[in-house]
Structures are given as C-alpha cells and as structure tokens.
C-alpha cells in the first residue's frame, strides 16, 4: 500500500475517533481526547501524506530543484517587503507555482516555504499549520487552472485565501487555548485576527492583480522550456524511442 | 576513449542544429581544450559526452557518441556519472548541500556506496584538491574559488575517467582561476584523467593543453595539436571571434612581417626566446602617453572610511580625484575594497567617515536617484538588470524612475536603441536575447540617461573576446566625448589596452594610483603578458613600459 | 543581515544529540496540552528555563517571549469575553451584542486565560530550544531517521542551501535597480509594491535559470541512480545519548500516566477549584520535574566526559 494512503487512513481514524469519543462522556478515553493534540496530529499526518505522494510521483532532479528553488524564492521574497507591514508576497508566489506546476508541486512549494523560512524566523507549534495552510494554497491553485481563471478571479481567489489561511492558523490556538469550543467562540476568535487577515487578503489581491499574470507567464515559459521532450524526427536516422 | 561519429543535435524547438556532423576522437589521457564563440556549440558538445544531451535536454539527435565503450544515447547521465565527471561554470549552482562533507558525499550516496567507502573517497578527494581545511565548513561561507574546488572534489570522488569542465573559471578571480586550472592540469598529469576543458579565453590555459578544438556554428572549425594549430589556423580561429593571447598575436604579426617563427610560443619564456634575436638589432623608442590630468574633477573622495556593520573596515582613509574624460581602472585582489569604493560614487553606500563629492554634490546630501542622472552603474550580470516585458520598456524604466517626460522618453529610447543596434528587438522579451544582446540592452538601459560618469563592475568577466572588444571600443569613444569611465576589473590585458589610469587597492587602501604605463610595467602580478616579455630586454634599450602588441610592433619598425 | 535563528554556541545543550532535544520538546509540548492545572503548567514552564540558561540563548528567548506575551494577552482577553461559564461576575455589559449575547466578564474566565497563557508560554519556550539549539541540517537528518521520504527532505535541504545565495541575489538586484533610479520607498502603498517588482522579477527569472543548472549538476552526480541510496551522515547516538533520549520519553510516559490517573486536571468553571495535592500526587509531580531536568544534567555530564 502506498504510504500516503496509510496516512489518509490514520487521518480518518483519528478524525472519526475525535468526533465519536465526546459522544460518550463516561468513557475513560474521554478525558484523553485533546483537541490541541488531535488537530496537530491530523495536520502533521496530512503533510506526511503529501510528502509520500511527492516521493511516489515520478520525480526527477528537475522537479526537485524546481520545487526547492520556488520555495526558496517565496521565502526570500519576503525580505524586500519586510519594511511594508503585512504585505508578504509568499501566498501569491505559491498560488502562481501551484497554478503552473500542479497540486503536488504546489503543496511542496507551500510547505517548504513555511518550514525553511521558520529556520530564520523561529520554529513553533505553528510550523505544521503554516506548512499545511500554504500547502493547501498551492494545491487549490492548481485546481483553479481547470476553470481558466482571468485576472479578476485570481484576485478573488487570492483574497479568499487571505482569510482561509488565517482560519487555519487560528484553529490550533482556538482549540488549545479557548473555552468553550463553540461556533460562537470560533467566530469571535477569527474576528480577533480579522485585521491581519484582511491585510493578507488585500496583499494577495494586489500582488495577483498587478503581477499574477506576469508571474504565471514567466513560470509557464519556464515550464515549456524545462519539459523538453525527446522527439522523433523522420529525417534523422537515429532517434531515442527505438 | 571518446568517439563521436556524424553527430548532429537540435534543441527541441530549434530550427538550426546546435551541433552538426561532428566527428571526433579523443584518446585516453589527452588534455583537450575546446573553444569557440558563444553559441558555437561548446556547451552542447560537452553535454553530449555525459548524456545530458539528449536525456536531460531532449531534442533531436542523429549519429553516435561513444564514451568509454558506452553508447551515450542508451545510457542516461546518472549511469555515465562514474565514467564522466562534469563541472560547470558557476560553482554556486552546482553545490547542493549545506556543508562540504555532505557535498562530497552526495554523488556517492546516490550510488549507494557504504559509509566507510564514502569516508575513504572523501578523504582522498579532499587531499587531492588540497582542501581538507574546508571539510567542516558551511558551503555559503566559502569564496568562489573554494566553492569550485569543492565541486571538483565532489565530482572526483566518483572516480571519473574523463573530466569535462565547462568554463570552470569564468566566475572566478584570476588567482582562484589559476589555482583551479593547475589542479586540473595535475589531475591530467598525475592521475591520467582525460580532460576536456571548455574555455573562451585561451591565455590562461594554453601551456597546459595538448590539443585544441575550435567550434563555430555547431561545426568543428579547427582541430589539432596546440602548437600546430595556433600557427596554421590563426586566421580561422580569430575569425570565429576567439581572442588570441598577446604572445600568439605577436608571433603571428611577426610572421606576417616575414620574420619566421618556428613554433607558436605558449609561455612568456618561449616568447622571450622568440624575441631574442630581434631586439639585438632594433633600438626602441618610447610610446607616448596621453594625459588628461588637467581636466575638471568630477569625483572627489576625501579621507573616506567605510565599515560594514559588524565587519572590519573595508576602506581606510581613501582619497582620490577623478577628472572629466578619464578612463580609470580600479584593480586589486578580491575583497580589497574595489566594489565598496565605487558603490560610494552613486551613493549605494554612504561614507562611514570622510566625504565623497560627485560633480560637486556631497553624496551624503543626495539620494541614489538624484545621483542616477549623473552616474550610471553597470553590473556584471545583465540578467540582474532585465525584468520588463520588452526591451523598449526596460530602457524606458530608467527614464521613468527619474521622472522624464513621455515625449522625451520616446525620443531617447529610440536614439539609444539605434545606437546599440537593438531596434529589431525593441518589442522582444529581454531575457530571451543572446548573451551579447542582453549585455547591450543592460548597457543601453543605463546609458540612456547619458550619465557623465559611467561605472562598470567586472563587465568583462565571463564574456567572450568579441563582446569585450566591442564594449571597450564603445567605452573609449564614450570617454573621448568628455565622459568619465570607471572600470572595476581583474583583467590586466584589457586595462593595458584601453584604460588611461590605474588605481590599485589593497586591504581597503590605495597602494598606487597613476598612469597605467607606470603601474602596469615592471610589476610582478599586474603586468600584461607583453610587458613581462619585454622586461628581459631592457639591456638592449627596449623601453620597459610597453604594454600591448601594437606598441611592441611599433618599436620593432 | 539574515541568518539562521540557530547559532553555534558550543554549550552542552548545543552538543547534545538532536534526537534527545526533539523528543524532550515533544514531551513538553504534549504534557503542556494534556495538563490543565495552572500549577502543573507553571512548573512545566519553569522546567524549560534551565535548558534555556544552559544553552545561553536567554537573550533570543526573551525576544521570543515578548511576542508570546502579546499572544497571551489576546488569549486572556478573548477567553474573558467569550466564556459565560464562570460564576464570579466582575462586570456585565449593559446591553446585548450580536454574536456575543450579553457579554459577562467573570473571574474564572480571566483565570482560565491566565492558565492557558502559561500553557502557551511553556510550548513556545520549549520550541525556542528547538529553534535556537538544533542546526537545521540536524533537523533534516532526524527527519530522515524518522523515515520521512528522502525527496521531501532533499527539497528542504536544497532550499536552505539556496537561501543565502538568493539573499545575495536580492541585495545585488536591488543595488542594480536603485542605481537605475528606482526609489523603493517613495509613493503610496501600491507604488511601493510595484517598485519592488523590479527586484522580484529578476530574482524569479535568475533563480529559474539556476534551477536548470542545479538539476544538471545533480544528474551529473548520479542523482536518481537507483531505488536505494546511502547516507554518509546520520544522527549517531553515543552512550550517554541513549539515557538522555530515555529521559526525554520518560516524562511523557509518566505525565500521561498521571493524567490518566486524574492528576493535573483542574476545573476553572463554574467556580475555581482549590488546588490541593496529596502526598502521592506531590511525589509524582516531583518525579516528573526531576525527569525533565535530567536532560540538562546528562548534557553537562556528556560534555564533561567528552572533554576528559
């Protein structure tokens, strides 16, 4: 069995258990169900599942170098923007990468961006969530390709991710430090970071609006150049396919 | 043994072949130099020897390449790795690990070597390269030369029988380049490794190699043992745009004048032997120097200190004055403060202490943008300049930054495109141009402001002879129009031929500053080849401040 | 300008096997999440301090704590606002607010916030040890040892390898563009973002060109030769690392047992519970703290032995 499926099964088991156990308040297990731990375990399993997916995909040195470099670019591109508060190009670069190079590469670029930039900014319990959130940005961007989005849709997509990213990041704090865990407290907790998320959304919208198409064009041009195929040519006596 | 038969190769979307009907045989233990203009097929040739062509690049192939008995078309690069070691131009892009040990282990790990064998091979290759001191270092702390040595060690650890080096020194300073080349020579000499070296500069390597192959437009133009071919095919080789070292040029000129030279001299010593008979007959006359010292000063530096945060002083009490119309070369070892100094001229750096005035403006009171109208700064790599969608926009960008009117922008862009012969590309994507065109575009994007002062940081590093000559001719013309050119460079021959004045920096201090003739002659390291040649003949009355072939020929008349 | 948060300081903690530290951090992380009792959380937090001091990273740690205190404030305020389960009402809003009903601030909710802040401080403090004392390369070796797939680890390590290179690129390109009169910090937000694209676009294109060469270099050194590959470096466990590793796991085991036993739980609502520990509980807690502190002692012991 592919190891990524193993992770998926584990995610399912833990997830279902997490929902069922509270239904039996008398069970001794109940005192052990810990939302902070469960959420982290699920997120880490999801990341590992993607790692195994990446391992299993037909990956050559080209893809590895590409994903590493895109992750590095998006981590490093934060530097010139450090002086502008709340404006970070990471999300937009991950969206463009996922859009052009597909879901698995998109996830990896997002995850690597988070993991590597935290070597410089500080690791914490937020690292897996960041990896997961940015990874999903890349994955989802890859799927928007099917709808051939124009500039406006890219902007909307980026803006939505500004908020979604915040949600994912807040989730761990919410489950670990807030009582009680109800929809109401969830919304209040999200409202707390609403300014921050709004800035993130605006930033994504600006970046994608101004440079989204150009960046995608650069990456597309590179993808075409990078996926050189070996062609047969009738007029040349030797070709590789035979 | 390498055997190439009727080999033709097209890149996937190319109309013209990158290599056409190549037939070559390279014996074990040979040291082969492959040269030619850029785009001539040098890189393609070396990439087909370890299967990067066609397995990595795709494309269309015909003919046969056999390396050590393996058909490269059927064996992908990773299978060739233990036969053929490949070293590329920029060490930065070949290092894949964060520290030196891991870097060297990388290839062996890929081949699933057991740990004890990796340890043995690592020890061996570190020692062969003489870099065991670097063993525990982080890769990003190393200098360019050290990085390239680590790359060589990591390739050597796989025990290749053939070593292919694609312009391995073009990103390095002369001293590191020299070290790297002598290592390569030793590997060939002592270990018997076949070496295929690709270089567009011949002057550094000629004495090491056995055989020269010249490629142009994908075809072999000349091929033969080094001494034969330099004499016989001089014209064919220079026609492709490859620059000959001054000594070879001299020998050729002498032959043109009817003075027979038996064999092309490869070293300064051989050159002296060649000239021995000549100078006894001809007394020399001094070449003239042109002076521009009395013009109006445009850059004044007074007691300038610069200290980078957390570092030692990069400039120590530097004072100098550069005048209008001067062509100044700033030279010195790596990290001697050359770039730090010139970055003060357009305010990229501000003085820690002391003062810099540019055209009468104290730089401490100006912004970079204000100075940008007066000072143009061209950096080494044109790729760092280019980002717009078309050449036109790229050039207009500079003018827009400086707040020019639309009408004037259009006019100036038109003019500069014409001057740099870029009209036909005006709507093209700058990064898709060839190397030479890119460099012209980057230069145009700076010169469109018509700066009084033009600074170039290592513009000749890694570029081929033809482009270099083109650039230098332009710069000479630019200074003759009353503008000032400041060139940061390691390239002694270029300075000898084109500059007026030389400033030599060491450890952040000016060691000497004066006319190039005084500084470059009779020096040990900073003398051009021709000067080192004539130094032996001053007892015959030959002026010892001759710097170029043309000057030497004048004295012979 | 920008560097790893990790700095080689050569202390006993820095020299300790990365696995021991990872396990220890993991234990603290889990323990902090399963205990509710503010006393337990406080003691857990205190048990991270000797490590911070021994590793001589308290300055870095302090700056991280500043950020953490801000988060604590958020936790306290939000808990105070959203929880109506407390009985000691300190303040009641005069009118109802959408989403919140009629906000009530209770002593219990504030105290819950304080307890949770201790939890957060403990976790951040533990992760500080990971960030400041384990070299990123060692983290990757540990990832490999834990059987994480090699290609993902390689991508991460390639990326850390290229960060300094790309940082140099950014500095150089911004010098180039500023020399062409580009002013990065002039104008409104849009203008400032737009002007930075003259840096991002060349960075992107240059790095993509690098990608080709990196891939070529990897191919040329037999990357992808076979299914198997070996690893020259690995996280080696020395004799003293094994007990240190065990002392990383033991607290986790003991803590889980204690929690299962019903220890370390605390009821904030509806009214604050009195914290009372019987003799057994006290001794268990003391044992837990002892086990947690053993790692530091072993680290010192190891360094001492290596020096001799």
The interface predicted TM-score of the complex, written ipTM, equals 0.91
Three-state DSSP at B162 gives: strand
Phi and psi angles of residue B241, each rounded to the nearest 5 degrees, phi first = 100, 5
Best CA proximity match to C177, nearest among A227, A194, B377, B392: B377
Three-state DSSP at C217 gives: helix
What contacts B116, CB < 8 A, 6 or more positions away?
A: none
- The H-assigned helical ranges of chain A are 3-20, 35-56, 61-76, 90-101, 103-121, 126-144, 151-177, 183-192, 194-207, 213-226
Q: Are C158 and A64 in contact (CB under 8 A)?
A: yes
User: Both tokens of residue B197?
Assistant: 């070296």
The 8-class DSSP code of residue C5 comes to S
> Using a CB-CB distance cutoff of 8 angstroms, which residues of chain B are in contact with residue C144?
none
Contacting A residues, span 121-140, partner chain C, CB-CB under 8 Å: 121-125
pLDDT of residue B285: 58
**Alpha-carbon radius of gyration of chain A:** 21
Residue B19: C-alpha distances to residues A42, B15, B38 (Å) = 54, 12, 13
Best CA proximity match to C44, nearest among C127, C126, C122: C122
- The H-assigned helical ranges of B280-367 are 338-343
CA distance B197 to B209: 9
Contact yes or no for C222 and B110 at CB 8 A: yes
Beta sheet of B2-10, edge-to-edge order: B19-26, B2-10, B60-67, B70-71
Q: Give me chain A's average pLDDT, please.
A: 85
pLDDT of residue C254: 92
Neighbors of chain B by Cβ distance (3+ pairs < 8 Å) = A, C
pLDDT of residue B175: 87
Q: Tell me the pTM.
A: 0.92
User: Both tokens of residue C262?
Assistant: 């019903």
Contact yes or no for B369 and C202 at CB 8 A: no
| Mean pLDDT along residues C35-49 | 93
CA distance A61 to A64: 5
Contact yes or no for B389 and A214 at CB 8 A: yes
Closest-CA distance of chain C to residue B167, Å: 14
Percent pLDDT > 70 in chain C is 99
Torsion, CA A60, CA A62, CA A63, CA A69, rounded to 10: 140
What contacts B524, CB < 8 A, 6 or more positions away?
A: none
The 8-class DSSP code of residue C28 comes to H
> Using a CB-CB distance cutoff of 8 angstroms, which residues of chain C are in contact with residue A79?
2, 167, 170
pLDDT of residue A241: 34
Ranges in chain B, pLDDT < 70 = 279-294, 557
Where do the structural domains in chain A lie, given as residue ranges? 60-226
The 8-class DSSP code of residue B486 comes to E
Q: Does A180 touch chain B (CB under 8 A)?
A: no
pLDDT of residue A217: 92
Q: Are B552 and B546 in contact (CB under 8 A)?
A: yes
Closest Cα in chain C to B106: C221
> Using a CB-CB distance cutoff of 8 angstroms, which residues of chain A are in contact with residue C156?
68, 112, 115-116
Neighbors of chain A by Cβ distance (3+ pairs < 8 Å) = B, C
Q: Does B232 touch chain A (CB under 8 A)?
A: no
Three-state DSSP at B453 gives: strand
pLDDT of residue B287: 56
Three-state DSSP at C222 gives: coil
pLDDT of residue A231: 41
Three-state DSSP at B83 gives: coil
> Using a CB-CB distance cutoff of 8 angstroms, which residues of chain B are in contact with residue A231?
12, 58-60
Closest Cα in chain A to C99: A184
CATH number of A60-226: 1.10.1760.20
- What residue has token string 């299993």? A56
- The band of C2, judged by pLDDT with boundaries at 50, 70 and 90, is low
pLDDT in tens, A188-224: 888 888 999 999 999 999 999 998 999 999 999 888 8
C236 or B369, higher pLDDT: B369
> Using a CB-CB distance cutoff of 8 angstroms, which residues of chain C are in contact with residue A72?
158-159, 162-163, 166, 207
Nearest to C205 among B151, B154, B383 (CB): B383
- Comparing A2-6, A74-78, B30-34, C182-186, the range with the smallest average pLDDT is A2-6
pLDDT of residue A30: 59
- The band of C260, judged by pLDDT with boundaries at 50, 70 and 90, is confident
Strands, E assignment, B364-414: 375-378
pLDDT greater than 80 at residue C282: yes
Nearest to B98 among C137, C221, C231 (CB): C137
Cβ contacts below 8 Å, chain B against chain C, sum to 172
Contact yes or no for A236 and B61 at CB 8 A: yes
Best CA proximity match to B246, nearest among B6, B530, B19: B530
Q: Does A239 touch chain B (CB under 8 A)?
A: yes
What contacts B159, CB < 8 A, 6 or more positions away?
A: B82, B121
What contacts A5, CB < 8 A, 6 or more positions away?
A: none
Contacting B residues, span 436-475, partner chain C, CB-CB under 8 Å: 445-446, 449
What contacts B193, CB < 8 A, 6 or more positions away?
A: B29, B160, B161, B162, B163, B187
| Mean pLDDT along residues A163-185 | 88
Q: Are C258 and C288 in contact (CB under 8 A)?
A: yes
pLDDT in tens, B361-412: 999 999 999 999 999 999 988 999 998 999 999 999 999 999 899 999 999 9
Nearest to C226 among B105, B112, B122 (CB): B112
pLDDT of residue A230: 45
pLDDT in tens, B499-519: 999 999 999 999 999 888 888
pLDDT in tens, A140-151: 999 998 888 889
Q: Is the peptide bond before C274 cis (omega within 30 degrees of 0)?
A: no
pLDDT of residue C72: 94
Q: Are B259 and B516 in contact (CB under 8 A)?
A: no
| Mean pLDDT along residues C278-305 | 88
Q: Give me chain C's average pLDDT, please.
A: 89
Percent pLDDT > 90 in chain A is 48
Contact yes or no for C211 and A69 at CB 8 A: yes
Three-state DSSP at C200 gives: helix
Contact yes or no for B61 and A239 at CB 8 A: yes
Nearest to B62 among A214, A231, A238 (CB): A238
Nearest to A52 among C131, C149, C156 (CB): C149
pLDDT of residue B286: 56
């Amino acid at each position: 069995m592919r190891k990524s499926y193993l992770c998926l099964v584990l995610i399912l088991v833990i997830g279902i258990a997490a929902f069922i156990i509270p239904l039996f308040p008398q069970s001794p297990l109940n005192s052990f169900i810990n939302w902070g731990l469960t959420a982290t375990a699920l997120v880490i399993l999801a990341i590992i599942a993607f790692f195994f997916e990446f391992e299993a995909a037909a990956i050559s040195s080209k893809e590895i170098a590409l994903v590493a470099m895109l992750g590095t670019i998006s981590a490093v591109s934060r530097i010139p923007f450090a002086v502008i508060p709340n404006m970070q190009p990471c999300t937009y670069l991950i969206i463009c990468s996922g859009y052009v190079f597909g879901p698995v590469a998109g996830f990896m670029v997002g995850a690597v961006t988070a993991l590597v930039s935290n070597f410089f900014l500080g690791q914490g319990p937020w690292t897996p969530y960041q990896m997961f959130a940015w990874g999903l940005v890349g994955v989802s961007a890859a799927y928007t390709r099917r709808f051939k989005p124009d500039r406006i849709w890219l902007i909307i997509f980026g803006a939505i991710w500004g908020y979604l990213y915040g949600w994912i990041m807040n989730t761990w704090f919410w489950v670990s430090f807030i009582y009680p865990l109800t929809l109401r407290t969830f919304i209040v907790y999200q409202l707390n970071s609403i300014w921050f998320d709004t800035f993130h959304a605006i930033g994504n919208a600006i970046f994608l609006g101004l440079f989204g198409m150009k960046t995608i064009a650069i990456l597309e041009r590179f993808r075409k150049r990078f996926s050189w195929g070996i062609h047969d040519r009738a007029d040349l006596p030797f070709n590789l396919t035979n | 043994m390498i055997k190439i038969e009727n080999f033709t190769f097209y890149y996937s979307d190319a109309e013209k072949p990158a290599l056409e009907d190549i037939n070559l045989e390279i014996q074990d233990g040979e040291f082969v130099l492959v040269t030619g203009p850029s785009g001539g097929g040098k890189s393609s040739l070396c990439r087909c020897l370890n299967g990067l062509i066609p397995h990595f690049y795709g494309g269309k192939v015909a003919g046969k390449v056999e390396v050590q008995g393996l058909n490269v078309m059927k064996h992908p690069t990773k299978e060739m790795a233990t036969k053929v070691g490949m070293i590329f131009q920029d060490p930065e892009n070949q290092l894949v690990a964060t520290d030196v040990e891991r870097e060297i282990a990388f290839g062996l790990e890929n081949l699933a070597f057991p740990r004890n064998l990796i340890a043995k091979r690592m020890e061996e290759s570190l020692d062969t390269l003489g870099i065991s001191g670097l063993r525990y270092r982080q890769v990003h702390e190393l200098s360019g030369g050290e990085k390239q040595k680590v790359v060589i060690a990591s390739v050597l650890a796989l025990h290749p029988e053939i070593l292919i080096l694609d312009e391995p020194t073009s990103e390095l300073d002369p001293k590191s380049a020299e070290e790297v080349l002598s290592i390569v020579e030793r590997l060939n000499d002592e270990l018997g490794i076949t070496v295929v070296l690709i270089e567009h500069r011949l002057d550094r390597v000629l004495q090491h190699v056995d055989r020269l192959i010249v490629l142009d437009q994908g075809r072999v133009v000349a091929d033969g043992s080094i001494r034969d071919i330099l004499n016989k095919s001089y014209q064919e080789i220079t026609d492709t745009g490859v620059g000959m070292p001054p000594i070879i040029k001299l020998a050729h000129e002498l032959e043109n004048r009817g003075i027979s030279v038996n064999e092309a001299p490869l070293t300064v010593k051989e050159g002296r032997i060649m000239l021995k008979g000549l100078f006894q007959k001809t007394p020399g006359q001094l070449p003239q120097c042109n002076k521009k010292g009395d013009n109006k000063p445009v850059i004044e530096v007074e007691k300038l200190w610069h200290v980078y945060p957390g570092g030692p002083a990069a400039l120590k009490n530097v004072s100098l004055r550069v005048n209008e119309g001067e062509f100044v070369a700033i030279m010195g070892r790596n990290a001697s403060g050359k770039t730090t100094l010139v970055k003060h001229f357009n305010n990229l750096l501000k003085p820690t202490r002391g003062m810099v005035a540019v055209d009468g403006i104290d730089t401490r009171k100006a912004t970079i943008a204000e100075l940008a109208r007066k000072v143009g700064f061209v950096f080494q790599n044109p790729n760092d300049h280019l980002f717009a969608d078309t050449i036109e926009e790229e050039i207009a960008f500079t003018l827009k930054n400086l707040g020019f009117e639309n009408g004037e922008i259009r006019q100036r862009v038109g003019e500069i495109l014409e001057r740099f012969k870029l009209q036909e590309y005006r709507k093209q994507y700058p990064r898709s141009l060839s190397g030479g065109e890119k460099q012209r575009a980057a230069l145009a994007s700076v010169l469109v402001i018509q700066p009084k002062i033009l600074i170039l940081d290592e513009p000749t590093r890694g570029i081929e002879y033809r482009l270099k000559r083109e650039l230098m001719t332009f710069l000479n013309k630019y200074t003759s129009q009353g503008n000032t050119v400041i060139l940061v460079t390691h390239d002694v021959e270029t300075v000898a031929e084109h500059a007026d004045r030389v400033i030599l920096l060491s450890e952040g201090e000016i060691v000497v500053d004066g006319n190039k003739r005084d500084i470059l002659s009779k020096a040990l390291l900073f003398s051009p080849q021709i000067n080192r040649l004539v130094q032996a003949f001053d007892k015959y009355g030959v002026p010892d401040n001759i710097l170029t072939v043309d000057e030497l020929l004048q004295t012979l008349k | 300008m920008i560097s790893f948060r990790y700095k080689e300081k050569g202390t006993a903690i820095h020299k300790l096997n990365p696995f021991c530290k990872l396990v220890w951090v993991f234990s603290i992380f889990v323990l902090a999440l399963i205990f509710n009792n503010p006393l337990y959380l406080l003691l857990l937090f205190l048990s991270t301090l000797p490590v911070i001091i021994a590793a001589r990273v308290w300055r870095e740690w302090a700056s991280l704590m500043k950020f953490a205190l801000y988060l604590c404030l958020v936790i306290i305020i939000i808990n105070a606002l959203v929880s109506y389960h407390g009985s000691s009402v300190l303040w009641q809003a005069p009118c109802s607010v959408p989403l919140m009903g009629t906000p009530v601030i209770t002593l219990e909710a504030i105290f819950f916030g304080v307890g949770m802040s201790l939890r957060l401080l403990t976790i951040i403090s533990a992760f500080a040890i990971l960030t400041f004392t384990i070299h990123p390369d060692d983290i990757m070796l540990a990832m490999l040892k834990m059987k994480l797939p090699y290609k993902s680890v390689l991508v991460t390590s390639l990326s850390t390898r290229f960060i300094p290179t790309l940082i140099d690129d950014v500095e150089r390109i911004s010098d180039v563009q500023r020399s062409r009169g580009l002013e990065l910090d002039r104008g409104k937000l849009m203008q400032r973002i737009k002007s930075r694209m003259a840096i991002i676009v060349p960075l992107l294109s240059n790095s993509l060109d690098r990608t080709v060469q990196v891939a070529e270099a990897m191919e040329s050194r037999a990357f992808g030769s076979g299914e198997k590959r070996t690893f020259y470096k690995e996280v080696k466990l020395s004799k003293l690392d094994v007990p240190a590793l065990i002392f990383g796991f033991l607290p986790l085991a003991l803590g889980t047992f204690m929690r299962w036993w019903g220890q370390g739980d605390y009821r904030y609502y509806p009214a604050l519970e009195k914290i009372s520990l019987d003799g057994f509980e006290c001794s268990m807690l003391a044992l837990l703290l002892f086990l947690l502190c053993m790692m530091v002692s072993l680290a010192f012991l190891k360094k001492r032995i290596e020096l001799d």
